[in-house]
Amino acid sequence: MKIIEILKRMFIERYCIVCTEPISYDKKEPFCDACLKDWEEFVSAKCGICGRERGSCTCLPSNVKKINHSMVSWCYFYNGEENGEINELFKNLKWNYDGRVIDFCTDKMKESLLHLCRSRGVNYKDFVVTYVPRNERNVYKYGFDQSEKLAKSLAKKLGIGVIKTFENFGTKEQKKLNKKERVKNALEAYEYIEDSVGDHKRFFLVDDILTTGSTMLACSYHLFKNGVTEVVPVVFAKDNFKIKGDRTNVKRNTKYYFTRTPKGFK
């Protein structure tokens, strides 16, 4: 991040979470006019696989369907680097800690999740939040764990508990591995913290971005093995660019995945 952006973040009360330009308090979304336009364009883009808009695209990687066939919560899909200016928001989420970015993301995550729970007749208060932790090496490198920040913020907004159930000492970089290797690598990378789930049976498993779902699958495996009966993956965005390469994905089960939040839903 440029030094000027760091200074802006320190001294300006309210700024655009994409470009850090100061903005007024009457703005509903934390974007300047230009970035709001980019955001609206981003949100209304159509999925290249199912043709639906970003918020209602139902494509999911097969790994995540193995965890839960009827409940997976996300807000938007994104396509790797093809997100235009809004890519800055994703970069901030991963690399530059900013409470306002986390706050924005968990507002959207809460909205999608509550809508999903309502449509399934599920009481979200029966759940506890846990998360896929960032690799220790990267926590050190970037100074924070974005999944932990998202999980804590989301749990607070929902008024439910949050438990750390995994350590991630990391092994290989997931990026360089194929689908099968990823699951195996993830299983080895995430270490379950003994007795951490306690008597809790239902978990919202939070991560920032869903790619192949292999880390989600690995963490769920550990949870199920330790007495948990239900895991609902909850992410801010899913990477459709990665999903596209997964041949067993989409269409077949699309009817299960309607997590779109209709306009005006509270």
Provide the minimum distance between the beta carbon of 6 and Zn ion in the complex, in angstroms, as a whole number.
16
- Name the 3-class secondary structure at 51: coil
User: Exposure of 195 by Cβ count < 10 A (0-12 exposed, 13-18 middle, 19+ buried)?
Assistant: exposed
Residue span binding Zn ion (CB under 5 A) among the ranges 41-49, 68-76, 169-177, 214-222: 41-49
Quote the least distance from Cβ 105 to Zn ion, whole Å.
Answer: 16
Confirm or reject binding of residue 49 to Zn ion (CB under 5 A).
yes
Among 9, 32, 102, 129, binds Zn ion (CB under 5 A): 32
Question: What percent helix, strand, coil does the chain show, rounded to 5?
Answer: 45, 15, 40
In the complex with Zn ion, which residue's Cβ is closer, 49 or 193?
Answer: 49
* One character per residue 158-197, x = contact with Zn ion (rule: CB under 5 A): ----------------------------------------
Distance CA 18, CA 136 (A): 27
CB within 8 Å of 133: residues ≥ 6 apart: 139, 145, 147, 148, 164, 166, 167, 168, 190
Shortest spacing between CB 254 and Zn ion, in angstroms:
8
Find the part of the chain contacting Zn ion (CB under 5 A) among 1-9, 57-65, 158-166, 218-226.
57-65
Strands 76-78 and 128-131: unpaired
- Whole-number minimum distance, CB 78 to Zn ion, in Å? 12
